[in-house]
Amino acid sequence: MAPMTTPGSLSALESRLRRLEYYITGQTSQSPTAEAASSKEKPLNVRARLSDLEQSLNDLISRSQTARELLTTYHKHPSLFLPSPATPPTSSDPSLTNRERISTILALAPSYQETASRLTTLKDLPIPPTSASRTLISLQPRLEQVEAVQREQAKEIEGLRARSAHVLQRWYEVSVIGGNECWAEWERRVEMVERGVRQRERARKEEEVQGEKYGG
């Protein structure tokens, strides 16, 4: 029975780990396996190489916050790291003849060449420095603090708006409506006083007229 872990698979795992380390930190560290190979010493056995890979991965996780966040994201959402299923190519329209298909291909041939040229150009672009990514990741806690402060300020502003609306409503009820009711009450009292005064004046005039009539 063939062993489950072969030297080829170990080399592939080590190569992937070194690429991952380079993508995250921008540099790679030499493993004891590579040191033994470069110094022409006796190569490590499978168990030692697995231990070496595990130690290298733990070292990368301990000194890289990006690696820890990637590992946390993998544990929470492992489906994000699965390769997307390949979609089978759709069959061409059976109603088209070979001449029509060839005409379509020739008409789109320049766009194929342009796309291939752009893809080739992308290969020559340098990888952005990891310092920029580390800086953005290090700013994440500060951004979260700023968002928390903004939420607190928004809650405080909402409370101030509610209090202002309550004060305005109270002022309207007491000053405006209450003042109008007070003026209406005063007007009613003044009108009653004026009515009493007029009645007394009318009665006094009637008495004077009666006096002059009987006195004359």
Quick: pLDDT tens for 117-155. Answer: 777 776 666 666 777 778 888 888 898 999 999 999 999
- The predicted structure's pLDDT at residue 4: 45
- The predicted structure's pLDDT at residue 146: 92
Convert the pLDDT of each residue in 19-31 to its tens digit: 877 777 777 666 5
- The predicted structure's pLDDT at residue 2: 39
- The pair of structure tokens assigned to 107 is 């008409």
Convert the pLDDT of each residue in 75-117 to its tens digit: 888 877 776 665 554 555 567 788 887 888 777 777 877 887 7
123-138 burial code (b ≥16 CB/10 A, e <16): eeeeeeebeeebeeee
> How far is 14 from 194, CA to CA, in rounded Å?
108
Estimate the share of the chain in helix, then strand, then coil, as percent rounded to the nearest 5: 80, 0, 20
> How far is 121 from 115, CA to CA, in rounded Å?
10
DSSP 94: T
**Band of residue 68 on the pLDDT scale cut at 50, 70, 90:** confident
Exposed, middle or buried: residue 179 (CB in 10 Å: 0-12, 13-18, 19+)? exposed
- The predicted structure's pLDDT at residue 171: 86
> How far is 89 from 206, CA to CA, in rounded Å?
117
Q: What value does the CA radius of gyration of the chain take, rounded to a whole number of Å?
A: 46
